[in-house]
Amino acid sequence: MTATLSRPGTPRAADRHRLSVLGGLAALSLDAMASVAYGPEAIVLVLAVAGGTGLGFTLPVTLAIALLLAVLTLSYRQVIAAFPHGGGAYGVSRAHLGRRASLVAAASLIVDYVLNVAVSSAAGVAALTSAVPSLLPYKLWLCLGVLALITGINLRGIAESARAFIVPTAVFVGSILLVVVVGLFRSTPAATVASGHLQTLQSVGVLLLLKAFANGCAALTGVEAIANAVPSFREPRVRRAQRAEVALAGLLAVMLLGIAVLIGKFSIRPVDGVTVLSQVTAASLGNGFGYCLVQFSTVVLLALAANTSFGGLPVLAHLLAKHNNLPHVFALRAERQVYRYGVGFLAIASALLLLLANGDMNTLVPLFAIGVFVDFTLSQTGMVRHWFRSRPRGWRGKAALNGFGALLTGLAAIVVTATKSGEGGWLIVITLPVLVLLMEWVHRGYRRIGLGPVPPPAGRWWSSRLTRDALAAALSLGDRVEAVHVTHPGEEASAREFVEAWERWHPDVTLVQLHDERRRLGEPIAEHLRRHEGRRVFVLVAEVEPEHVGQRVLRNRRGAVLDRALRRRSDAVVCRTRFRIGA
């Protein structure tokens, strides 16, 4: 016998904690937006080696990056539609390139997310200490303070973090656009532009242009974050995420190209202690209020750019846990739609990086942006295979576009890795396979102890044994027993499979399905128990305890979540029963 109970009236409440298009831009695009502060400078620093001739290629190189940005945007719009459950490069790779390739993509994303938090925090504090040198001795503590602030905001929910960041994002974008517009119409610089010593003119080689292109591609980090966090958007999620992706690309392209034009117009040169963006702003707006506004908004946005990772990594970790590549605790979601374990892992890993680097941005920057190009390449390659398999109308053009993007990002990945290996990039080359091996170990651990919710009684999986033993224990407590199964949005297919498997097994126990739009676990069960008020109710929570100590990290801790929720919200007697399972 199967009963299905739904919870009406909750979708609107659940959507309250999700993102609008504007909120998605504020919560998930800060990394890409902040790259305007260092992307053009990365290009200029390389091209300055060839003197004025080299600097003349600033705009062509930026145009090439803008072309790649357009290719990536079109690709990620398709990724969003094809993989609405999030994951970005991981989801594409898993579907079209195989599990091993998907783990490489996931490892690259994890590394990039952690580095983004550390680099953004350090860069924001570096900009602040440059303006206020007396704060320099407290650099590390300021970095950790920024990290703690952003972590606390995100633990309140991604929608709340988006609302907190809308104003600084709007101020930064508006001020940069003001710099571009005023600068384009100004015939002479508003303030004297400092000029540094240039080396002797030399011909610009292809390798130098490639290095400038690869360095400038740092401005593209973060454009994949929206595709990785589609489940965080309000309905219709796909359409809102696609609009946010296009809006991000449009704003980023306009700002990058505008600054590149002004670099050439005002003959900007690299100067020690003065950023390229600072020189462009001074030339366009002068050294008054407008200049201070741009610099201050840049400091704030760099510090807050870490929020992009807090929007993307927890969703990715949830998918990895769902596919048994990370411990299942990463799939637990709090009432505010927050994957707390993912947020906690990101905060701790970033704090460790900041401690090891003593909060120094220059120590962390060489490690940045290698992983993201690996993801770009895998995502583009996976989409090529997607078009060849599905073959919709116009698939050849789409496959060619993705193939061209894969070629460009693959080349950029090779150049960036080669040029940064001597600056610490080798650590990323080592870290990626280590993370893949760790995820393989987790996957093997779950495979050893077995998976599957309700296999036939004769099956050898631990879940079959756990379910049988739990039902036997429950029947020993009373003759009226219900098995309760909670489902969430997007799990309709797996819920039907669960019911079908249960009915094939036919344990002669009523199955009650509870659907909760807010993705809670304990609260819907507590509300269901209120239907039995006036009776003594025992709730048996069966938990698995692997025999080997090393495998106990794989437990999902749902028992603890249920225990707390039911003790707070019901009068039921909660019994947590653990069953030792061997390998």
What is the predicted pLDDT for the residue at 202? Answer: 45
pTM over 0.95: no
What is the predicted pLDDT for the residue at 464? Answer: 59
What is the predicted pLDDT for the residue at 286? Answer: 86
Q: What distance in Å separates the CA atoms of residue 209 and residue 60, rounded to the nearest whole number?
A: 10
Q: What distance in Å separates the CA atoms of residue 333 and residue 521, rounded to the nearest whole number?
A: 9
pLDDT of residue 150 exceeding 50: yes
By C-alpha distance, which of 361, 477, 441, 482 is closest to 2?
Answer: 482
What is the predicted pLDDT for the residue at 365? Answer: 67
Helices 276-285, 289-304: axis angle to 10 degrees equals 150
Lowest mean pLDDT among 129-138, 421-430, 454-463: 454-463
What is the predicted pLDDT for the residue at 103? Answer: 93
What is the predicted pLDDT for the residue at 454? Answer: 43
From residue 171, how far is each of 5, 340, 551 by CA, in Å?
Answer: 47, 30, 49
Query: How would residue 182 be classed by pLDDT, with cut points 50, 70 and 90?
Result: very high
Per-residue pLDDT tens digits for 198-235? 444 345 577 778 778 877 877 887 788 788 778 778 88
- Tokens representing 377? 């390449």
As a whole number, mean pLDDT of residues 93-113 equals 89
Mean pLDDT rounded to a whole number for the chain: 78
Query: How would residue 456 be classed by pLDDT, with cut points 50, 70 and 90?
Result: very low
Higher pLDDT, 31 or 285: 285
As a whole number, mean pLDDT of residues 166-185 equals 90
Cβ neighbours of 13 (radius 10 Å) = 11
Higher pLDDT, 193 or 103: 103
What is the predicted pLDDT for the residue at 94? Answer: 87
What is the predicted pLDDT for the residue at 16? Answer: 59
* 3-state SS assignment for residue 209: helix
As a whole number, mean pLDDT of residues 36-45 equals 82
What is the predicted pLDDT for the residue at 6? Answer: 46
As a whole number, mean pLDDT of residues 319-341 equals 75
Helices of type H across 391-461:
395-420, 426-449
Q: What is the DSSP letter of 339?
A: -
What is the predicted pLDDT for the residue at 401? Answer: 80
Higher pLDDT, 455 or 495: 495
Q: Answer for the pair 353, 115: CB distance below 8 angstroms, yes or no.
A: yes
Lowest mean pLDDT among 144-158, 431-445, 458-472, 496-510: 458-472
Q: Which residues contact 390 (CB under 8 A, 6 or more apart)?
A: none
What is the predicted pLDDT for the residue at 160? Answer: 56
Is-cis flag, bond preceding 456, omega within 30? no
Higher pLDDT, 92 or 273: 92
pLDDT of residue 437 exceeding 90: yes
pLDDT of residue 106 exceeding 80: yes
- Tokens representing 422? 């001597």
What is the predicted pLDDT for the residue at 570? Answer: 80
Query: How would residue 83 be classed by pLDDT, with cut points 50, 70 and 90?
Result: confident
By C-alpha distance, which of 416, 415, 385 is closest to 403?
Answer: 385
From residue 478, how far is each of 9, 115, 534, 539 by CA, in Å?
Answer: 34, 54, 16, 11
Give just the sign of the alpha carbon dihedral 192, 196, 201, 204: negative
Secondary structure of the chain: what % helix, strand, coil (to 5)? Answer: 70, 5, 25
What is the predicted pLDDT for the residue at 351? Answer: 92
